[in-house]
Amino acid sequence: MNKNIVLDLDGVIADIATSIEDALLHTHGANRGEYDYGHWLTTHHDCSDSDKIMGTPLFWKNLKPFQDAWHQVNHWFSSNYDVYIVTARRSEIAINQTEKWLDEWKIATMPPIFAKMGEKHNIINEIMPIFVVEDNPNEVITLLEEGHNAYLRKAWYNEEYWNELPTIDSLLELNIND
């Protein structure tokens, strides 16, 4: 039996939205709803605000995992599933912090794989996972079109897709039957 699982990192395992909100509050005095940064997480973009916020190692080091993700990823891994992270982190600073962050939080996965946004499906096609969890609806749509079992993890910035795509609130909702 195939025992591969693919997860996105930011927005699925790491709570990047809360860290961005905290940074926006600190740098701009802006609360969520006052500053739309959802496109930072779902599209290619050039934005001096996002570069300033996410351009330091400290931002990436200070991310916290979702509690359900920490438990479920480690459970799957300890149950002999190969948990792959396929992430669209693009800056060298973010990439360089990824494995350190996983190690510091003791999140057990295969080594992370970095892909450009919109090109993750090429890597995922090679892994042939049981399922994929993403927070980017565009990635989920592509994966579903290619025949993958893919889920959208709910976030405020993807709410318009909750009724259109297979959607989960928590990784704990996903049961694997051996």
Mean pLDDT for 42-60 is: 66
Residue 41 has pLDDT above 90, yes or no: no
As a whole number of angstroms, the distance between CA 49 and CA 51 comes to 5
Query: CB under 8 Å to 164, separation ≥6 — which residues?
Result: 137
- The length of the chain is 178
Domain ranges (residues) in the chain: 4-16+64-173, 17-60
Mean pLDDT of the residues in the chain: 86
The CATH superfamily of 4-16+64-173 is: HAD superfamily/HAD-like (3.40.50.1000)
Helix, strand, coil % (nearest 5) of the chain?
45, 15, 40
The reported pTM is 0.87
Each residue's pLDDT tens digit, 87-132:
998 788 889 899 999 999 999 999 999 999 889 999 999 999 999 9
Q: What is the pLDDT of residue 38?
A: 54
